[in-house]
Amino acid sequence: MRSAHGKRVEIVAGAESRQESVWRALRSVRTDVELVLVHDAARPFPPAAAVARAIRAAQEVGGAILACPVVETIKRVGPDGLIVETPERATLWAAQTPQVFRRTELLRAYRAADVAGALARFTDDAGIFEGGRRACARRGRQRGELQGDRFRRLRAGGTAAGRPALGAALRRGVVRGDT
């Protein structure tokens, strides 16, 4: 299959969880591929310049994510519902996608998490990659996730912001494109 840009695309069946879907796709990537970009459909169309910064950072240190500085005040709350602390906002960033990693290092991290039965506890790939070095590439303004009706319209084959629909890819599973 070819993309609209003429690139070869392979569809890998999705799984019950995001982590399992990425694990399946990661195992299907050719061994000559240096970097992999993991991107979810909740925040489509990231700025190309931000993605390029993440790629450069991953080439340098092994992994990078797109992220935005947190603008809200965050509270850490105990099991009793009482506020425990207010973390320094300047140190908090909201992780987004794509997240970019050296293929061999991410494969190693996923394999270790899978063997330990720990894939389900992670909420993003940078978490699975915790043992490796990662950089944070500023994305720009924070965008909310596509959820509810907006997500269902895209999945059904609609469009957002005049850009091509994501429907076919989302209905079939994980899309892996080769450059």
- Whole-angstrom Cα distance, residue 26 to residue 100? 12
pTM of this structure: 0.72
Kind of pairing, strands 63-69 and 135-138?
parallel
Residues 6 or more apart whose CB falls under 8 angstroms from that of 135 comprise 54, 57, 58, 60, 61, 63, 64, 65
Residues 6 or more apart whose CB falls under 8 angstroms from that of 9 comprise 1, 2, 3, 175, 176, 177, 178
Determine contact, residues 136/67, Cβ cutoff 8 Å: yes
In a domain, 101, yes or no: yes
Query: What is the pLDDT at residue 80?
Result: 95
In a domain, 4, yes or no: no
- Whole-angstrom Cα distance, residue 122 to residue 168? 27
> Structurally, how many domains does the chain consist of?
1
Q: Residue 88: which domain range?
A: 9-177
In a domain, 1, yes or no: no
Residue 159's Cβ-side half-sphere holds a number of Cα atoms within 13 Å equal to 4
In a domain, 24, yes or no: yes
Query: What is the pLDDT at residue 77?
Result: 95
| Per-residue tens of pLDDT for the chain, all 179 residues | 888 888 888 888 889 888 999 999 999 999 999 999 999 878 888 889 989 999 998 998 889 988 888 999 999 999 999 999 999 999 998 888 999 999 999 999 999 999 998 888 888 888 888 765 666 766 655 555 444 554 455 555 554 444 443 333 333 334 344 43
DSSP string computed for 6-57: S-BEEEE---SSHHHHHHHHHHHS-TT--EEEE--TTS-S--HHHHHHHHHH
What the block records as the tokens of 109 is 């991290």
- Which CATH number goes with the domain that contains 68? 3.90.550.10
